């Protein structure tokens, strides 16, 4: 994107704040499931981001549809957020309603080896439950934070697998009219850290097809994965995991390190000296710092290696 295009995109991002009448309507319909002027820095693992006009956290699929219907009626822009572990929220925050899935926590075993899970269930909770039920297939989630909804959008995964391997069906709700959409796994268009699930919908739940596996075997794989991660990932610093996707046939971390950028800082944002593809918040970083560091890294890698690094993290807000 050229600097001019970026400026135009930035302008398009600027929206009017939520009107007082919209705030009243949200309070009336959602009660204590809505909060106003919520600092998004508290809702993201990077600990960066200005206030959301409103954060709605419906506690059931029905309440989710009610919240969406209300926003559609009043033409309020909705932004879905899960665990906030792959998000950079800009400094002036998010206009409209951030729709948080964190209270959608239904999880049940259907039949022998299928599970149905709501979008807000954390990947950790899902993994511990299927381990107890002695169902294999989700070992890849060891050490991957966030929610199931965010994991499906991102097709999150590790060298042990990714959501595409186990997803049988995804149920979403259309933001325009609250209509329910069901897609089979292949219809979700999963690829490397992406899905084709439309931005005009919110993922409500999914069904995963797993297989019987001894608890000790599952735990051994997860332990191995966690140990491997501990050895190469920054700890005790605010982060969102890998910042860039790996380009075909290479590793973003290797390319960034080869440019001598490990340890480079802009304000409170740092290219981690432990893993160069983790741009971390060492304290007090703003989104402006992080975006400037992202651009610096991209420029240097483009100039030195001729490779364009695509963002893995999602940037929202204005």
Ligand X SMILES: Cc1cc2nc3c(=O)[nH]c(=O)nc-3n(C[C@H](O)[C@H](O)[C@H](O)COP(=O)(O)OP(=O)(O)OC[C@H]3O[C@@H](n4cnc5c(N)ncnc54)[C@H](O)[C@@H]3O)c2cc1C
Whether 60 sits among the annotated catalytic residues: the reply is no
E strands present in 22-166: 34-39, 51-56, 78-81, 87-89, 94-100, 107-110, 114-118, 135-136, 157-158, 161-162
DSSP annotation of 18: P
Residue from 64, 89, 144, 266 in contact with ligand X (CB under 6 A)? 144
Radius of gyration of the chain (CA): 20
Residue from 49, 51, 58, 84 in contact with ligand X (CB under 6 A)? 84
The piece of 59-67, 83-91, 106-114, 269-277 that touches ligand X (CB under 6 A) is 83-91
Residue from 87, 94, 97, 130 in contact with ligand X (CB under 6 A)? 87
Q: Which of 95, 183, 193, 300 is catalytic?
A: 193
Of residues 85 and 300, the one with the C-beta less far from ligand X: 85
Residue from 18, 156, 279, 309 in contact with ligand X (CB under 6 A)? 156
Pick from 120, 154, 153, 151: which is nearest to 138 by CA? 151
Whether 273 sits among the annotated catalytic residues: the reply is no
Q: Is 33 in the site for ligand X (CB under 6 A)?
A: no
Tell me whether strands 314-316 and 87-89 are parallel, antiparallel or unpaired: parallel
Chain position whose Cβ is nearest to ligand X: 150
Q: Which of 57, 85, 205, 242 is catalytic?
A: 242
Of residues 153 and 294, the one with the C-beta less far from ligand X: 153
CA 192 to mean position of chain CA atoms = 14
Residue from 83, 93, 185, 253 in contact with ligand X (CB under 6 A)? 83
Complete DSSP assignment for 94-123: EEEEEEE-TT---EEEETTTEEEEETTSBH
Q: Is 151 in the site for ligand X (CB under 6 A)?
A: yes
CB 169 within 8 A of CB 206: yes
Whether 187 sits among the annotated catalytic residues: the reply is no
Q: Is 256 helix (H, G, I), strand (E, B) or coil?
A: helix
Residues that bind ligand X (CB under 6 A): 45, 80-87, 101, 119, 144-147, 149-151, 153-154, 156-158, 193, 202-203, 239-241, 314
């Amino acid at each position: 994107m050229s600097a001019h295009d970026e400026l135009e995109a930035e302008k398009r991002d600027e929206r009017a704040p939520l009107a007082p009448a919209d705030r009243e309507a949200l309070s009336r319909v959602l009660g204590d499931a809505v909060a106003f002027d919520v600092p998004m820095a508290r809702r993201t693992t990077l600990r960066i981001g200005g206030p959301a006009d409103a954060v709605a956290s419906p506690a059931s699929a029905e309440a989710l549809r009610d919240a969406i219907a209300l926003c559609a009626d009043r033409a309020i822009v909705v932004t879905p957020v899960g665990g906030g572990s792959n998000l950079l929220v800009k400094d002036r925050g998010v206009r409209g309603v951030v729709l948080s899935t964190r209270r959608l926590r239904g999880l049940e075993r259907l039949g022998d080896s299928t599970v149905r899970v709501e979008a807000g269930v954390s990947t950790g909770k899902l993994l511990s439950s299927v381990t107890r039920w002695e169902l294999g297939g989700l070992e890849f989630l060891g050490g991957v934070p966030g929610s199931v909804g965010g994991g499906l959008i991102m097709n999150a995964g590790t060298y042990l697998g990714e959501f595409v391997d186990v997803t049988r069906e995804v149920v979403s709700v259309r933001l325009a009219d609250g209509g329910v959409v069901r897609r089979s796994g292949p219809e979700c268009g999963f690829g490397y850290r992406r899905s084709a699930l439309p931005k005009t919908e919110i993922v409500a739940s999914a069904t995963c097809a797993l297989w019987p596996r001894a608890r000790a075997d599952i735990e051994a794989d997860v332990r191995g994965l966690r140990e491997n991660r501990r050895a190469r990932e920054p700890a005790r610093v605010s982060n969102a995991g890998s910042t860039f996707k790996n380009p075909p046939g290479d590793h973003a971390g290797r390319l960034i390190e080869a440019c001598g950028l490990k340890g480079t800082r802009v304000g409170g944002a740092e290219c981690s000296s432990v893993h160069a593809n983790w741009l971390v918040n060492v304290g007090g970083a703003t989104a402006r710092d992080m975006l400037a560091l992202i651009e610096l890294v991209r420029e240097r890698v483009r100039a030195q290696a001729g490779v364009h690094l695509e963002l893995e993290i999602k940037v929202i807000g204005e």
